[in-house]
């Protein structure tokens, strides 16, 4: 379940404000009588894993929509035509909220759906599908939530919770060994992951005592060699050059994680619609 905190409320309010820079929804004001009430249905237009129902509800409430009923839960698998939720209340308010609610829901559902495909691709192996920090600015909490709904696991959220030694850190420190020692000296209790792009670096990382190593852009043959060299001394994470087509082969090599940036930076939106199904016009003469 998603915790709706102040950060998320501010994010939703900012998204709503983007539609209200000019002050009003001119189309709805011109075409919909004041006081009209409607029921609108969120409907899946494609198969996928739903995410963002609670965000859609929050958007509706922040726009003044009185009623919202969730008929499915985040993480549910949907078929085309499945009813997800209904919103009821002032018609103008529903249409004000429509695009923002759908933007969140379709985007997050796309991430959950793509993640589930990757998870299915490696089913039966020990490998877990893991996300990255390649997230949309401002949306990291929600996007990583969607990854979990799809069956994936999260890498670090922030730069402070875990160290990850990459090529630029190695270049600036003079060597992988220097970089690792510096982190251990400054932050002795923090988890350290080391990125390596060849087998010599892998051996150096193991010699430092690294227990989590990222294999950067290693082909399958080199990955298999890396697993043999490591021999269980560290957890291994494959990163780069991965696809749904080759994911299973990499997973079967014996690595522990597949790091997939595409989960958050390239997931196609899931097709979901919001359709007005019933309206109650105000009494004659109202505007």
Q: Which CATH number fits domain 119-265: 2.70.170.10, 3.40.50.10490, 3.20.20.70, 3.40.1390.10?
A: 3.20.20.70
Mean pLDDT of all residues in 260-269: 98
pLDDT band at residue 279 under the 50/70/90 scheme: confident
In the annotation, is 275 catalytic? Answer: no
Q: Which of 270, 272, 274 is nearest to 110 (CA)?
A: 270
Concatenating the DSSP letter of every residue in 11-66 gives HHHHHHHHTTTTSS-HHHHHHS-TT-EEEEEEEESS-EE---HHHHHHHHHHTT--
In this prediction, residue 277 carries a pLDDT of: 86
Q: Is 42 exposed, middle or buried (0-12, 13-18, 19+ CB in 10 A)?
A: buried
Beta-carbon contacts of residue 120 (< 8 Å; ≥ 6 apart): none
In the annotation, is 79 catalytic? Answer: no
Mean pLDDT of all residues in 232-240: 98
Distance CA 251, CA 225 (A): 14
In this prediction, residue 283 carries a pLDDT of: 57
In this prediction, residue 284 carries a pLDDT of: 45
In this prediction, residue 113 carries a pLDDT of: 99
Q: Which among 61, 166, 235, 248 is annotated as catalytic?
A: 166
Average pLDDT of the chain is 96
pTM of the predicted model, to two decimals? Answer: 0.94
The neighbour count for residue 180, using CB atoms within 10 Å, is 23
In the annotation, is 216 catalytic? Answer: yes
φ and ψ at residue 53, rounded to 5 degrees: -60, -45
pLDDT at 226 over 90: yes
In the annotation, is 99 catalytic? Answer: yes
Distance CA 60, CA 74 (A): 17
pLDDT at 209 over 90: yes
Q: Which among 57, 90, 143, 195 is annotated as catalytic?
A: 195
In this prediction, residue 286 carries a pLDDT of: 43
The neighbour count for residue 287, using CB atoms within 10 Å, is 7
pLDDT at 40 over 60: yes
CA 180 to chain centre: 30
pLDDT band at residue 285 under the 50/70/90 scheme: very low
Buried b (16+ CB within 10 A) or exposed e, 211-229: ebbbbbebeeebbbebbee
pLDDT at 281 over 80: no
Distance CA 225, CA 97 (A): 53
pLDDT at 79 over 80: yes
pLDDT at 119 over 90: yes
Rg (Cα) of the chain, in Å, rounded?
24
Beta-carbon contacts of residue 99 (< 8 Å; ≥ 6 apart): 19
Distance CA 136, CA 158 (A): 14
Domain-wise residue ranges, the chain: 6-111+268-280, 119-265
φ and ψ at residue 85, rounded to 5 degrees: -165, 165
Distance CA 210, CA 110 (A): 35
Distance CA 196, CA 217 (A): 9
DSSP state of 123: T
CATH fold group of domain 6-111+268-280? Aldehyde Oxidoreductase; domain 3 (3.90.1170)
In the annotation, is 14 catalytic? Answer: no
Q: Which among 54, 143, 216, 256 is annotated as catalytic?
A: 216
pLDDT at 287 over 60: no
For 147-193, the pLDDT digits (tens) are: 999 999 999 999 999 999 999 999 999 999 999 999 999 999 999 99
Question: Rounded to whole angstroms, what are the CA distances from 103 to 3, 109, 268, 269, 273?
Answer: 19, 10, 12, 9, 10
Q: Which among 45, 61, 72, 99 is annotated as catalytic?
A: 99
**Largest CA-CA distance found in the chain, in angstroms, rounded:** 82
């Amino acid at each position: 379940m998603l915790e709706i905190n102040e950060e998320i409320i501010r994010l939703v309010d900012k998204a709503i404000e983007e539609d209200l820079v000019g002050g009003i929804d001119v189309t709805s004001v011109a075409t919909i009588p004041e006081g009209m009430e409607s029921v609108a249905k969120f409907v899946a237009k494609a198969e996928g894993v739903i995410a963002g129902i609670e965000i859609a509800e929050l958007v509706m409430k922040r726009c003044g929509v009185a009623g919202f009923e969730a008929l499915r839960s985040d993480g549910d698998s949907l078929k085309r035509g499945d009813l997800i939720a209904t919103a009821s209340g002032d018609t103008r308010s529903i249409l004000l909220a429509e695009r923002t609610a759908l933007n969140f829901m379709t985007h997050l559902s796309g991430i959950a759906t793509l993640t589930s495909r990757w998870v299915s691709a490696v089913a039966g192996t020990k490998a877990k599908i893991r996300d990255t920090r390649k997230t949309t600015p401002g949306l990291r909490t929600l996007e990583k939530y969607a990854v979990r709904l799809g069956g994936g696991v999260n890498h670090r959220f922030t730069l402070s919770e875990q160290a990850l030694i990459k090529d630029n850190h190695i270049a600036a420190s003079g060597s992988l060994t220097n970089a690792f020692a510096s982190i251990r000296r400054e932050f002795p209790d923090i988890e350290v992951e080391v990125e390596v792009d060849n087998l010599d670096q892998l051996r150096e990382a193991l010699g430092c005592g690294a227990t989590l190593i990222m294999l950067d852009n290693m082909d399958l043959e080199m990955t298999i060699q890396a697993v043999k060299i490591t021999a269980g001394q560290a957890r291994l994470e494959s990163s780069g050059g991965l696809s749904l087509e080759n994911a299973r082969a990499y997973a079967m090599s014996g690595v522990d994680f597949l790091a997939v940036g595409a989960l958050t930076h390239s997931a196609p939106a899931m097709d979901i619609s919001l359709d007005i199904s019933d309206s109650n016009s105000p009494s004659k003469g109202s505007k």
